[in-house]
């Protein structure tokens, strides 16, 4: 089974790109971030025509997440609990039946947190603490749980073309890295690093010729419960998509599993 994440950076601006990629690759489940669309405005008909079931948690102009699945949904959860005042659409989860039982796929768009001196950085850290509580509950279920999406976190120096240039940014500073390590210490496995120690970027800024210079960073991740990690076969970064016409600044990242 192929399960992927992609920060699409505007579903309406990238719909043709997405449809082309889905038609070529035919992944089983895809989680999207930054759809930048309310639920009723999401172009589901074009995606459903490819055989996908579509569930969204949208928001006007900003944020927004979605799950596209060739499998029917058994359950859908929208929003990260723990703060009733938080109206930002950043989490959606689906449960699916497979031959071996059920799998739980949770797509997230973790806050960027910049500028660090603003209220955005405390919000990022608080959101991550709420996410840790959410993950702790999911791990108690002892089932395959895949947490994937745009984490807005650079885990290690190897995950940036120029780590010194990024140090101190909300994506790469001690407070952020501590929260990411907490997820690992809870028993969640970084899927890509479980399969390779080589350089692999998932984001190239639109500015300063970042794509041409391969000045990328890895901020799109798949984190796996022990039951999901046991079924992991490989991880593929679809780097070529960044060179397509009118691309997102992120590329799809796909986990391949024996479910």
> What string of DSSP letters covers 165-177?
HHTTSTTSSHHHH
Of the candidates 121, 87, 115, 103, the one whose C-alpha atom is nearest the C-alpha of residue 227 is 103
Pairing of strands 232-237, 101-109: unpaired
Torsion of CA 15, 20, 24, 30, to 10 degrees: -10
The answer to whether 152 is annotated as binding is yes
Is residue 28 part of an annotated ligand binding site? no
Q: Is 7 a known ligand-binding residue?
A: yes
- pLDDT one-digit tens code per residue, 98-157: 998 999 999 999 999 999 999 999 999 999 999 999 999 999 999 999 999 999 999 999
The pLDDT of residue 122 is: 98
Residue 16 annotated in ligand binding: no
- Judge contact between 237 and 199, C-beta under 8 A: no
Give residue-wise pLDDT tens across range 223-249.
Answer: 999 999 999 999 999 999 999 999 999
249 labeled binding residue? yes
Instruction: Reply yes or no on whether the pLDDT at 61 is more than 90.
Output: no
What is the pTM assigned to this prediction? 0.98
Name the phi and psi angles at 233, rounded to 5.
-105, -40
Instruction: Tell me how crowded residue 103 is: count the other CB atoms within 10 A of its CB.
Output: 25
Residue 57 assigned to a binding site:
no
Look up tokens 């799950």; give the residue: 67
Helices (H) and strands (E) in the chain, counts: 8, 12
Domains of the chain as residue ranges with CATH: 2-257 (3.60.10.10)
Res. 208: pLDDT tops 90 = no
pLDDT per residue as tens digits for the range 2-32: 999 999 999 999 999 999 999 999 999 999 9
Q: How many other CB atoms sit within 10 Å of the CB of residue 13?
A: 12
Q: Which residues are catalytic?
A: 109, 150, 250
CA–CA dist 89, 202 (Å, integer): 22
β-partners of residue 116 are none
β-strands 65-69, 2-7: how paired? Answer: unpaired
């Amino acid at each position: 089974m192929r399960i992927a994440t992609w920060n699409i950076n505007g579903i309406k601006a990238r719909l043709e790109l997405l449809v082309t990629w889905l038609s070529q690759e035919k992944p089983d489940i895809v989680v999207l971030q930054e759809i930048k669309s309310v639920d009723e405005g999401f172009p589901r008909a074009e995606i459903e025509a490819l055989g996908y079931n579509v569930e969204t948690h949208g928001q006007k102009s900003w944020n927004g997440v979605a799950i596209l699945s060739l499998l029917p949904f058994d359950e859908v959860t929208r929003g990260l609990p723990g703060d009733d005042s938080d109206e930002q659409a950043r989490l959606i989860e689906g449960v699916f039946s497979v031959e071996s039982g059920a799998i739980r796929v949770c797509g997230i768009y973790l806050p960027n947190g910049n500028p660090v001196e603003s209220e955005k950085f405390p919000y990022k850290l608080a959101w991550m603490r709420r996410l840790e509580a959410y993950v702790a509950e999911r791990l108690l279920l002892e089932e395959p749980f895949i947490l994937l999406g745009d984490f807005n976190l650079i885990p290690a120096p190897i995950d940036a073309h120029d780590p010194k240039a990024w140090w101190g940014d909300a994506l790469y500073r001690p407070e952020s890295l501590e929260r990411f390590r907490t997820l690992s210490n809870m028993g969640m496995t970084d899927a890509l690093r479980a399969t390779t120690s080589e350089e692999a970027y998932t984001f190239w800024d639109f500015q300063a010729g970042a794509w041409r210079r391969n000045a990328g960073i890895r901020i799109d991740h798949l984190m796996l419960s022990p039951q999901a990690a046991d079924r992991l076969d490989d991880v593929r970064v679809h780097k070529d998509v960044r060179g397509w016409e009118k691309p997102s600044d992120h590329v799809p990242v796909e986990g391949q599993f024996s479910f």
